[in-house]
Amino acid sequence: MSSLFRMLDLHEAVERARRRPDGRLFVSDYNGGHPYVADYLGDLAHTPPYCLGDVTRYSAIDEDHALRAKIALLHESYDDEPCSPGQVVPAGGSSSLIGTFCTWLRLAGHTRVHYLPPLYYKFAYFFRQFGIDPVAVAEDHAHEAGFEPALPDERTVLLLTDPVWYTGRRVPAEVLERIADWQLATGSLVFVDGTFQYLRWDGGRREESAVLPRGLTVRMVCPTKYLSIHGYRCAHLLVPEPLREPLAELHLNLHGDVTVADRLFAHRAADLMRAEGNHQLVGHIRANHQRLSSGTALTAQAAIETGYFLFARPSAPADRLLALDGRYFELPGHPGFVRINLLNEAALDGLEALAMS
């Protein structure tokens, strides 16, 4: 059995445990808060959606050409690479887009794909359902020293995650350049799960995965993550233009349309990122990291450069925590290290309290 499927089993087990509170502190939680939610929402923070849009009609997000144009301009501005509305598939959240892409793989006849670990566990769920065999091209993760992927000498589909979200590390530019050369040599399609992109701690805006060939790359981006406002559902794909209509049609037929509120949020997120951006949120994440690092809550931690998940070894006894360790990300070694959500105040407070008890 693929190690990706074993990882899926672990995630399903922790989901069951999370729903049955037993006194353990869930430090790897998916949710978190910050002080800038109302500012980021703008009018959506205090005005009912029916006052901002026509709730008597379907939202028709894919027919919203103004939104697709905004998203294209956002990526041109941030990544310094050409992007057109004809490459944009707007949708309601990363999970639905993962389901759409995996369905497209199966309908297109793909029974085997390659990937750089780690992948989000929902890919494993759909691969298992559709009988798709996932083949890892490396044991190490892309940010680790000595990373050397065994890219196949054939045309295939390669999936990767950038950044490596559980530890807040970006895929190095040289790795992406090597993959780009391999794509051009083999004609292979690459899917980049960029759900946690545009949260760089150094203030930079460009994501290096933008260098991958536009005609051979699908990239997923998630505004609800780079603003950390998960109650709205909003994500989009950047795709080769010939794939835009097939993927958009498949997505609509699988999932239906988004709500008016979600479409309004997508506009607000694109406007915000093209204006002041999310630097306040990133500053808040960094302050929480400094708070946790300056005390006794951690005995060791991995380097971090983006996002809001830290991979670290807590001082708290392991049996007091519900946490995702390396096994949940196909990562060998690193005993005692777990993913910690730096935006989950309850987790941070609990780790500090347990360290002093």
Tell me the sheet residues that pair with 38: none
* Spatial distance between the Cα atoms of 47 and 52, rounded to a whole number of angstroms: 7
Tokens for 85? 């509305």
Q: For 201-246, write each residue's pLDDT tens digit.
A: 999 999 999 999 999 999 999 999 999 999 999 999 999 999 999 9
| pTM summary value | 0.96
Q: For 262-304, write each residue's pLDDT tens digit.
A: 999 999 999 999 999 999 999 999 999 999 999 999 999 999 9
Which of helix, strand or coil describes residue 267?
helix
* Spatial distance between the Cα atoms of 165 and 200, rounded to a whole number of angstroms: 12
Alpha helices in 55-166 (DSSP H): 65-79, 94-107, 121-130
Q: Decide: residue 80, CB within 10 A, 0-12 exposed, 13-18 middle, 19+ buried.
A: exposed
Domains of the chain: 3-37+278-356 (3.90.1150.10), 52-274 (3.40.640.10)
Q: Return the HEC string of 45-75.
A: HCCCHHHHCCCCCCCCHHHCHHHHHHHHHHH
Q: For 6-59, write each residue's pLDDT tens digit.
A: 999 999 999 999 888 788 999 999 899 999 999 999 999 999 999 999 999 999
